Structures are given as structure tokens and as C-alpha cells.
């Protein structure tokens, strides 16, 4: 029996008034996959992720995460996911360690596992030396790594990362992606949105989202071969131009 | 469940108490406010500047003057000799009242007639004016009584005896209200801001994707302010007793119990405000929007029974109205839980409703 998919989205629609933010999106993400969501700002990537995390209710259509329906079982969904938003969302006035302890408690990590998970997160984020510093004073890239550390304390099978590297320098971004690879190798499914084209190359599969629709979905290699493009950036621009021409 | 609540409480305390500025903010302003308001909210007239205009220049008129000079309520500051001067004193507010003894004052007395003294009062503040008029009449009457010695005394005399606040100090009446003002403002705003701040900096979204239950988040966010409110209450009450010598007839335990019940309503309202505000500014504005009318209609200074009837009904849902009655009851009358049961139950019901209402509005969804 094949393993069930980590994320299944079926004809998902989200409207805000008359604006259609997510327009009939369907896709599946396999376990352990790094799935990239690529698209310009306002394409509906964050809205989709928020629906999958149970933060927003879908207008119509269905989505399951780890086998749980996001509309009817949001609390069960929340137990099996880690989430990191584009906005830095840790407590700047708590130290690195206090933030980790806080989220450990909130996620209900078993007491005997806490120390171990904390040192894992500290090591992963390379923050062992700065554990006593106030989080607000860390440089951007470090903050993002700590945010990722907080999101994986409870070892969630699925991780949603919403533009995790926005505003972070290229080297810090690179080291952040190394972390994502490690997590994926450990069996975690990673659903990540980005608008950095180089980052799309790191994903196993990429969906291009534009004006609420998924206009193309494939592996980065297949994309490039099919279009004869050298980089994902070219692929991206090509696809969007094609889409524009088709709707014009 | 309690585990998660404790985690939040610990976090709130760390965040609140980490900064020195915040620690100072929790202690100094309440005490400063109490000192300022405590000295300011005072309707008692002591040493009111008045003028004495003597157009009779007789032994009797000077005797009346010495009666005024001997009174603690008055300070005879001016002795004008023309109507123009009187006008000027009243216009500038230099004198709050002018006692005018007309020519022939002594002659009337000697003839055994009623002699008249004119009292001109600055009525801009009607309250002060009526109190002042009362004091003036008292002094003049006392003088009249002395003239009448030997004559048969009046047949029936009322001898008033004042209970609960025997010295009739308005401060004893007002300071409990000031205490309520401070506690309400602090707990209401701190709760409203604490939750909206999380929304503003984005941590609320992060919390909403965790398995935390709304009730856990609510309790975790409000319980720290119960502690802070209780500490401030202790602090402010202590200062009120030590500095203003407010009588404390009741029991400390009653006060603690009543305060905890009252905090349910202020924290509940703070929570509610946080569910309708997106930014800290909005939370601040709506706190004031809620606080000011509630305070004005609490009976702190304007008696509720003087309000139009619909407004009186409105005050029935005003938690401050009950708490001020409770505080005055405990401080001045020494009332216990049994006597205060109606007010306490009202507060309890309001508190439960507000908390329940905000819990209903408190979702883990963004839309």
C-alpha cells in the first residue's frame, strides 16, 4: 500500500469579498518532499498556506494535511504541523532559550524530551553560543534559523514555511536551505513558498502560482528541459508570459 | 492544559518585568496618581478667601468680622470699601464670597429688629457656592445666637450626628473611588494591549497554528494581570491609609475577595477590547472610550440617583458602579461579604458574561 500523501488539495477556492485569492487549486505533496510554491507577491501563496494551517477557512473545495481536513479538523492539523511565517514572529524581548522553552511548552513536547529537543534546535540553528541573548538583537538570518528551530521542536511531520528567507542575505539563505535539506532527509515534508528563483532550484517539485491559480507544476529539471531554459527565473518569466498571452 | 497556561504566564511575567521601565511603570504611576488625585479631589472648604465689606463700622460689625476670622473655613483676605472693588474681587475670582454689612446694622440690633447681612457668592461652581453659602449662614447664625443670649431658646433644635464619615471629609468619600480608577485603568489597558501587541508583532499568528486552546491562551494572558492588579491594589490601598488616613473599617479579606471579582470584569473587558482592535492605538482608544463613560456614570462624584432614569438603568451594567459602592462600604462602613452580596453578585454576573462573550469572539482563525 502506497503511503498516503502529506498534503492533498482538491479544487480549493478562497474568496475575500469579490477578490479570488485562491482559484480552484488542486495538488498533492508526497511525504518527505520539499515542495516549492513559487509566484509573485499577491499570487495567493500565503493564503493557500494559511488555509492549510487552519488559519483561514476555505470558501469551497477541500484540503487535508496529514490526513486531517483543514476545515473541519483544524486542531488535529495543528498538532502535526510546524509553521513559520514571512514575518518574524518570535518574542524579541525574550532570550533565544526562553523562546525555545516557551514554544516547547506550548506545543506540549513531553518533559523528558525537552532538553534534547532544545539542544537539537540550538545546534541546528547554530545558536548555542547565543542562547542567552535577546532574540530581538540577533541578525536577520539567525532569527530565521531560530524561528525554524521553534517550529520543529515538536517534530512535526509537515513543515509550512511561508517565505522563510525574505530579507535575509544570500549566505544566510544558503545555510537555511541546508537545514531544510537535513529535515527533509529526516523524513519531514516541507511546503515552502518563495519568490527567490534560485531557491526554487532546491525544491523537489515546484508549483508556479499566478493570480490565484497554479499555472504549472513540475520538477525544476523537467521545467528547464521542457522550456530549454537555463534557470528557474527564465522558466518563471516564460510561464507567466504564456499565461498572460493565453488570457489576453 | 495548566501546563500550557503556566508557560504563557511565565512568558508574560518575563516580558513585563524584564524592562526596568516597565517595572517602574507598574509601581510609580499608580502611587503618583493616588497622591495627586487624593490631594486634588477635595470638596471641603478650608481657608476660602473671602472679602468683608463693613459699611457700618460699628462694634457689632467688627464682632461679626471676628467671627469670620475665627472660622477655619474662611480666610478674610480683603476689606473692600467700594462696590467697584467688590465687583473686581468677584470678577477676578480673588474672593469666593463677599460679606457686606450695610449701614445701620448696629442700630437695627439695638432696636431689637432683625439686622441684615448681604452675602455675595461667586456661583460659577454651583457646588462650592452652596457649600460656601451654608458656611456663611452658619457663622452669621452663630453670631445671632450670641446676641440672643438671655432670650428663650428655640423650641426644637436638630442635632445632626453623622455616621461612617463623622468628619464629613470629602476625601474619605473620594479616595476609594480614586483607587478604583487606578486599578481599572491599569488592568483594562494592560490586558487589551498585551493581546493586541501579539497580533501586531505577528506572534499571535504563530500561536494560532499551535495546538493551544483559546481558553488556555486567554487564561494565560489574563492571570498575570490579576496578580499585577492585586499587587497594585495592595500598594495603592496602603498609601491611601498611610498618607490620607482614610478609615478602614472593613476586613482585608473582604477587600481581596471583592477585588478579585471586580478584576474579572476589567480583564474581561480588556480581552473584549483586544478582540475588536487590530492595533495598539485602537486598543488604547477603545479603552478610553469604554473607561470614561463608565467612570462618569459610576457614582464617583455624581450621585446616580440624580441621573435621568434611562441613564440610571444603564449604570446597572456598569461594573464600576458596584465596585465603588463595595469599596466605600468596606472602607467607611465596615461592611462584609453578606451586606455586599447584591453588589458582589452583580459584579460576578457581569464578569462571567464579559469573559464568556470575549471567549466566544476569541478565535484561532484569521478570518
CA angle in degrees (0–180, nearest 5) for A145-A149-A155:
145
Pair (B100, B199) in one structural domain:
no
Tens-digit pLDDT string for chain A (248 aa): 456 889 999 999 999 999 999 999 999 999 999 999 998 888 899 999 999 999 999 999 999 999 999 999 988 999 999 999 888 789 999 999 999 999 999 999 999 999 999 999 998 888 999 999 999 999 888 888 899 999 999 999 999 999 888 878 888 888 889 989 999 999 999 999 988 888 888 999 999 999 999 998 999 999 888 888 888 888 888 888 888 888 77
The answer to whether residues B119 and B21 belong to one domain is: no
Separation of alpha carbons A76 and A72, rounded Å: 9
Answer yes or no: are the C-beta atoms of B337 and B256 closer than 8 Å. Answer: no
Indicate whether B324 belongs to any domain: yes
pTM, entire model: 0.80
| Residue B35 within any structural domain of the chain | yes
Pair (B271, B352) in one structural domain: yes
B141 and B190 within one domain:
no
**Per-residue pLDDT at A188:** 93
Where does a domain end: B102, B135, B151? B151
pLDDT for position B190: 87
My answer on whether B129 and B181 are in the same domain is no
In sequence order, the 6+-apart residues with CB closer than 8 A to the CB of B134 are none
In this predicted structure, what is the pLDDT of residue A104? 95
How far is it, in rounded angstroms, from Cα A54 to Cα A48? 10
| Contact criterion met (CB < 8 Å) for A54 and B205 | no
Q: Are residues B99 and B29 in the same domain?
A: no
If contacts are CB pairs under 8 Å, which of residues 82-101 in chain A contact chain B? 83, 85, 87-94, 98, 101
Q: Measure B285 CA to nearest chain A CA, in Å.
A: 25
Same domain membership, residue B325 and residue B187: yes
C-alpha cell at B214: 483559546
| Final residue before a domain boundary, out of B151, B167, B185 | B151
Strand stretches in chain B, DSSP E: 48-54, 74-78, 97-101, 117-121
For residue B70, pLDDT over 70 is answered with yes
In this structure, the answer to whether residues B295 and B336 fall within a common structural domain is yes
- How much is the pLDDT for B108? 86
**% of chain A exceeding 70 in pLDDT:** 99
On whether both B261 and B339 belong to a single domain, the answer is yes
Mean pLDDT for B83-96 is 90
**Domain extent for B187:** 2-41+177-366
Would you call A103 an interface residue with chain B, using a CB distance cutoff of 8 Å? Answer: yes
Identify the pLDDT of residue B132: 86
- Give B227 or B113, the one with higher predicted confidence: B227
Per-residue model confidence (pLDDT) at position A132: 92
Nearest residue, CB atoms, A91 vs list B203, B208, B210: B203
Q: What pLDDT shows up at residue A238?
A: 86
The whole-angstrom separation of Cα A237 and Cα A230 is 12
Whichever domain contains B95, its CATH number is 3.40.1710.10
Decide if B136 is inside a domain: yes
Residue B69 lies in a domain: yes
Percent of chain B with pLDDT over 70: 95
Looking at the domain assignment, is residue B165 inside a domain?
no
H-type alpha helices, B71-169: 83-91, 105-111, 126-147
Higher-scoring residue by pLDDT: B366, B214: B214
Interchain CB contacts (distance < 8 Å): A and B: 73
| 8 Å CB contact between B125 and B88 | no
Collect all residues of chain A within an 8 Å Cβ-Cβ radius of residue B4.
Answer: 105-106, 108
The yes-or-no verdict on residue B35 having pLDDT over 80 is yes
Going by C-alpha positions, the residue among B191, B159, B366 that lies closest to residue B265 is B191
Res B158: pLDDT: 67
**B6 contacts on A by Cβ (under 8 Å):** 105
Q: Using one digit for the tens of pLDDT, what is the confidence trace for A165-178? A: 887 888 888 888 99
Are A89 and B4 inside 8 Å of each other by CB? no
The answer to whether residue B94 sits within a structural domain is yes
d(Cα A88, Cα A195) in Å, to the nearest integer? 17
* CB contact (8 A) between residue A88 and residue B202: yes
Tens digit of pLDDT for each residue in B237-246? 999 999 998 9
B207 and B275 fall within a common domain: yes
| Structural domain count of chain B | 2
Q: Specify whether B135 is located in the same domain as B225.
A: no
Q: Is A107 in Cβ contact with B211 (below 8 Å)?
A: yes
Read off the C-alpha cell for B250: 472593613
Rounded distance, CA A246 to CA A59, Å?
26
| Same domain? B145 vs B216 | no
Radius of gyration of chain A (CA): 18
Q: Which residues of A touch B17 (CB under 8 A)?
A: none
Instruction: Tell whether B170 is covered by a domain.
Output: no
First to last CA, chain B: 26
Query: What is the C-alpha to C-alpha distance for residues B357 and B311, in angstroms, rounded to an integer?
Result: 23
Three-state SS string over chain A comes to: CCCCCCEEEEEEEEEECCEEEEEEEEEEECCCCEEEEECCCCCCHHHHHHHHCCCCCCCEEEEEECCEECCCCHHHHHHCEEEECCCCCCCCCCEHHHHHHHHHHHHCCCHHHHHHHHHHHHHHCCCHHHCCCEHHHCCHHHHHHHHHHHHCCCCCCEEEEECCCCCCCHHHHHHHHHHHHHHHHCCCEEEEEECCHHHHCCCCEEEEEECCEEEEEECHHHHHHHHCCCCHHHHHHHHHHHHHHHHC
C-alpha B239/C-alpha A55 separation (Å) is 48
> Three-state SS for B106?
helix
Q: Name the pairing type of β-strands A34-38 and A19-29.
A: unpaired
Q: Is residue B56 part of a domain?
A: yes
**pLDDT value for B149:** 61
Picking from B52-56, B109-113, B177-181, B255-259, which range would have the lowest pLDDT averaged per residue?
A: B109-113
Other C-beta atoms lying within 10 Å of the C-beta of residue B125: 12
The string of pLDDT tens digits covering residues B137-179 is: 888 888 887 776 655 455 565 666 777 777 767 888 889 999 9
Task: Give the model's confidence band at B16: pLDDT under 50 very low, under 70 low, under 90 confident, else very high.
Answer: confident
Cβ contacts (< 8 Å) between A54 and chain B: which residues?
209, 364-365
Supply B276's cell numbers: 475588536
Amino acid at each position: 500500500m502506497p503511503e498516503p500523501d502529506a498534503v492533498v488539495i482538491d479544487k480549493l477556492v478562497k474568496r475575500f469579498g469579490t477578490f479570488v485569492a485562491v482559484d480552484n487549486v488542486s495538488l498533492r505533496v508526497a511525504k518527505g518532499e520539499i515542495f516549492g510554491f513559487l509566484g509573485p507577491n499577491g499570487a495567493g501563496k500565503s493564503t493557500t498556506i494559511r488555509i492549510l494551517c487552519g488559519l483561514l477557512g476555505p470558501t469551497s473545495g477541500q484540503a487535508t494535511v496529514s490526513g486531517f481536513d483543514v476545515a473541519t479538523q483544524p486542531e488535529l492539523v495543528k498538532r502535526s504541523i510546524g509553521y513559520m511565517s514571512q514575518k518574524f514572529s518570535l518574542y524579541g524581548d525574550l532570550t533565544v532559550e526562553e523562546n525555545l522553552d516557551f514554544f516547547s511548552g506550548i506545543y506540549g513536547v513531553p518533559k523528558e524530551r525537552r532538553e534534547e529537543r532544545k539542544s537539537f534546535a540550538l545546534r541546528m540553528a547554530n545558536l548555542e553560543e547565543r542562547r542567552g541573548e535577546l532574540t530581538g538583537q540577533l541578525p536577520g538570518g539567525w532569527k530565521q534559523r531560530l524561528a525554524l528551530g521553534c517550529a520543529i521542536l515538536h517534530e512535526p511531520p509537515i513543515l509550512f514555511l511561508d517565505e522563510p528567507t525574505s530579507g535575509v542575505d544570500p549566505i544566510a539563505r544558503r545555510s537555511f536551505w541546508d537545514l531544510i535539506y537535513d529535515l527533509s532527509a529526516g523524513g519531514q515534508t516541507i511546503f515552502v513558498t518563495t519568490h527567490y528563483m534560485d531557491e526554487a532550484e532546491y525544491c523537489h517539485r515546484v508549483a508556479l502560482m499566478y493570480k490565484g491559480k497554479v499555472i504549472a507544476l513540475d520538477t525544476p529539471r523537467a521545467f528547464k528541459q521542457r522550456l530549454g531554459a537555463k534557470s528557474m527565473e527564465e522558466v518563471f518569466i516564460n510561464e507567466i508570459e504564456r499565461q498572460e498571452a493565453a488570457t489576453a | 492544559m495548566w501546563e500550557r497556561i503556566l508557560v504563557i504566564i511565565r512568558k508574560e511575567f518575563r516580558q513585563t518585568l524584564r524592562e526596568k521601565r516597565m517595572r517602574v511603570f507598574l509601581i510609580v504611576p499608580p502611587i503618583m496618581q493616588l497622591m495627586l488625585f487624593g490631594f486634588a479631589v477635595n470638596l471641603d472648604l478650608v481657608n476660602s478667601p473671602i472679602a468683608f465689606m463693613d459699611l457700618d463700622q460699628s462694634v457689632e460689625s467688627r464682632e461679626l468680622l471676628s467671627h469670620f476670622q475665627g472660622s477655619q473655613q474662611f480666610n478674610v483676605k480683603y476689606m473692600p470699601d467700594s462696590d467697584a472693588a467688590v465687583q473686581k474681587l468677584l470678577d477676578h475670582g480673588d474672593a469666593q464670597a463677599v460679606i457686606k454689612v450695610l449701614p445701620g446694622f448696629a442700630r437695627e440690633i439695638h432696636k431689637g429688629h432683625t439686622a441684615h447681612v448681604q452675602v455675595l457668592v461667586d456661583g460659577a461652581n454651583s457646588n462650592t457656592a452652596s457649600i460656601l453659602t451654608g458656611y456663611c449662614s452658619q457663622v452669621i447664625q452663630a453670631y445671632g445666637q450670641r446676641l440672643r443670649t438671655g432670650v428663650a431658646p428655640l423650641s426644637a433644635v436638630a442635632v445632626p450626628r453623622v455616621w461612617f464619615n463623622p468628619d464629613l471629609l470629602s476625601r474619605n468619600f473620594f479616595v476609594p473611588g480614586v483607587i478604583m480608577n487606578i486599578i481599572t485603568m491599569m488592568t483594562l489597558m494592560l490586558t487589551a494591549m498585551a493581546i493586541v501587541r501579539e497580533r501586531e508583532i505577528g506572534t499571535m499568528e504563530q500561536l494560532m497554528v499551535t495546538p493551544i486552546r483559546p481558553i488556555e491562551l486567554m487564561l494565560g494572558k489574563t492571570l498575570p494581570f490579576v496578580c499585577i492588579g492585586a499587587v497594585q491594589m495592595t500598594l495603592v490601598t496602603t498609601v491611601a491609609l498611610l498618607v490620607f488616613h482614610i478609615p478602614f473599617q472593613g476586613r482585608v479579606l473582604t477587600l481581596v475577595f471583592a477585588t478579585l471579582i471586580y478584576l474579572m470584569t476589567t480583564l474581561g473587558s480588556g480581552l473584549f477590547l483586544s478582540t475588536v482592535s487590530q492595533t495598539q492605538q485602537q486598543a488604547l482608544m477603545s479603552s478610553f472610550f469604554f473607561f470614561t463613560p463608565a467612570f462618569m456614570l459610576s457614582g464617583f462624584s455624581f450621585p446616580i440617583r440624580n441621573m435621568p432614569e434611562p441613564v440610571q438603568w444603564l449604570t446597572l451594567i456598569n461594573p464600576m458602579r458596584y465596585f465603588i459602592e463595595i469599596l466605600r462600604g468596606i472602607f467607611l462602613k465596615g461592611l462584609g461579604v453578606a451586606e455586599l452580596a447584591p453588589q458582589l453578585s452583580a459584579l460576578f454576573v457581569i464578569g462571567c458574561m464579559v469573559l464568556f462573550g470575549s471567549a466566544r469572539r476569541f478565535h484561532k482563525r484569521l478570518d
